[in-house]
Chains A and B, each alone.
Chain A
Amino acid sequence: MLRFIVLRLLQTIPVLFIVATVTFFMVRSVPGGPFDSEKSAAPEIRKQLEDYYGLNQPLWRQYTDYMVRLCKGDLGPSMKYTNRTVREMIMETFPVSMRLGLMALSIALVFGITAGVIAALKPNSFIDYFASSISILGICVPTFVTGPLLVLVFALNLRWFNASGLFETSDYVLPAVALGFAYAAYVSRMTRGGMLEIMNQDFIRTARAKGASETRVVLRHALRGGLLPVVSFLGPATAGIMTGSFVIESIFQIPGIGRHFVTSVFNRDHTMVIGTALFFATLLVLLNLLVDVILVWLNPKLKLQ
């Protein structure tokens, strides 16, 4: 077990290295630089800025410099926000997105699993069609439709919540629902699929034959196996949901990390693009590892290798 985890952790190093390299050269190959939009910048100032960030050096030199610093754990200074480091900005915005993401994920899991199980217990019944329709709706309606609609109904008309900003606990509700709805849809479809497959297995029949109540059969015997697809989905999903959403953050005016993924590319903020990319990749790899461990714990037939 420990050996498996250590091995997997070692394997992530080349992956992160390649992600950093690819992103580095991808960003550099895009036309335009980080200081293009500063109209006031006189040529001398601009040159000073470029000297400061090492942009006048040959590309390979910039690359090795960056990689050496990276190995020391330094993500460098942001090229757009002067006097801010990339690490600072990530550390400042990530907790906000994480909190919101975890709330959204809880909503997604509670509603998704419930709907999925109910649909799977009576396949092709009215309630199955109803639950499936709602869940497909969650996949089909983009967050930039659900977000504004939620604001329109619950904030502007009913006045239950604030329309935007993040000051009170209740401010988390609308964005978390908008974000969680889409994920709930995926969770419920996967739960339905997994449960349908499990409920046909012999050990379920055995459990029933031995007189276990239907509730016990479902909750105690079937759910453990039926949720396997959901658990494997949780790796990428958690990484995605915790790194925020540009759409949700711009609709609800939330100071999360999601917008940095998009704006840094528009700003040509090279260090920030690579920093966020690396951050996401690290999170994804670690969560996938965690998911693999949980999968083995849930399904002893699998082995860690």
Chain B
Amino acid sequence: MPVTDIPVPFVDPLEQAEEGTSLWKDAWHRMKKNRMAFLSTLLLGAMVVFCVFGPFLSPYTYDQINEDAAGTIRYAEPPNARNWFGTDKLGRDQLTRIMYGGRVSLAVGMCATLVSLTIGVLYGAISGFVGGKLDNVMMRFVEILAALPFTVFVILLMVYFGRSLLLIFAAIGAVEWLTMARIVRGQVMSLRKTEFIEAAFALGLSRRRIILRHMLPNVLGPVMVYTTLTIPAVMLLEAFLSFLGLGVQAPMSSWGSMIKDGAEVMEEFWWMLIIPGTFLSATLFCLNFLGDGLRDALDPKASKD
């Protein structure tokens, strides 16, 4: 059907006096009512503050080996007044290492997600907007990447690029964008068929304006939801890489590497496993609840109560 055949209803701007509530207003309203999501946001904020500013207040550094007055190393001490979370098997303060490790884990999560967000949204948007043959080729490519065993791919990248922290971000992000691209493509494709986009075309708006002003706000919901779910996935992956010994380099710590060290000695020194495990799990827990909350809040089908 030629686009010009569609009668464009004339709407007098003055008649639109009754203001509808926007999607975002509704979403915010619903979000506030979801106690779990709200609590998670608070806890996440606290976690970020703790990791970013904590090290400035700590009397120890992440690689400092604690000794008592006589000069013996105080290694593997359970939580006590001087070291709230105990010391590790080399005598380093666990609390400080948790804070530094948290910086690494959170930074990896954010940066890798940003990389995957950029690639995924651009790739998906182009594929969905252009459609046709290009879309077909681009989606086949995604399928093939998905069929490659993920761990081999990441390890190969790591081995190839060396163990620089920055490249870990890039490598992880470069693998994690597939689902994001699929989601964005699906959204853009179904949006292209909607009447308001067709109307925008009929009105002669530029592609740029259509994409930025009309499509983007509608894609943003699912993208935000999936982003909050990508961060924990990436943090888990970082932990897995640390478990393989491919993560951050000693003596720097990350939650993943601390868990790995802790798992080796858990029979005698439980706190070395439990404490970093709790921190990682709690953060991922909050991110997941936040993602769920956002999904419920942004779902246009949800009732407006």
Q: Which A positions have Cβ atoms within 8 angstroms of B?
A: 15, 18-19, 22-23, 26-27, 29-32, 129, 132-133, 136-137, 139-142, 144-145, 147-149, 152, 156, 236, 243, 246-247, 251, 261-262, 264-266, 273, 276-277, 280-281, 284-285
Shortest beta-carbon distance from B269 to chain A in Å: 12
Do A15 and B239 contact each other (CB < 8 Å), given the known contacts A141-B277, A145-B281, A277-B148?
Answer: no
Contact, CB under 8 Å: A23 / B148: yes
Q: Which B positions have Cβ atoms within 8 angstroms of A?
A: 36, 143-144, 146-149, 151-153, 155-156, 159-160, 232, 236, 239-240, 243-244, 256, 259-260, 263, 266-267, 270, 273, 277, 280-282, 284-285, 288-289, 292
Question: From DSSP, what is the main secondary structure of chain A's interface residues?
Answer: helix
Q: Which residue of B lies closest to A243 (CB)?
A: B149
Shortest beta-carbon distance from A278 to chain B in Å: 10
Shortest beta-carbon distance from A210 to chain B in Å: 25
Question: From DSSP, what is the main secondary structure of chain B's interface residues?
Answer: helix
Q: Which of A142, A246, A280, A285 contacts B259 (CB 8 A)?
A: A142
CA separation between A266 and B158, bound complex, in Å? 11
Chain A residues near B260: list those with CB within 8 A.
Answer: 144
Chain A residues near B256: list those with CB within 8 A.
Answer: 142
Q: Which residue of B lies closest to A144 (CB)?
A: B243
CA separation between A14 and B36, bound complex, in Å? 47
Chain A residues near B259: list those with CB within 8 A.
Answer: 142, 144-145
19 A-B residue pairs with CB within 8 Å: A18-B144, A23-B152, A32-B159, A132-B292, A136-B285, A140-B232, A140-B288, A142-B239, A142-B256, A142-B277, A144-B260, A145-B263, A145-B273, A145-B277, A247-B243, A262-B155, A264-B152, A281-B147, A285-B147
CA separation between A262 and B143, bound complex, in Å? 22
Shortest beta-carbon distance from A136 to chain B in Å: 5
Given contacts A140-B288, A149-B266, A156-B267, 4 further A-B contacts (CB under 8 A): A22-B144, A243-B149, A262-B244, A280-B147
CA separation between A149 and B267, bound complex, in Å? 10
Contact, CB under 8 Å: A140 / B284: yes
Q: Which residue of A lies closest to B289 (CB)?
A: A136
CA separation between A132 and B277, bound complex, in Å? 20
Q: Which of B153, B239, B240, B288 contacts A136 (CB 8 A)?
A: B288
Do A139 and B284 contact each other (CB < 8 Å), given the known contacts A145-B259, A148-B273, A280-B149?
Answer: yes
Contact, CB under 8 Å: A30 / B149: no
Contact, CB under 8 Å: B152 / A261: yes
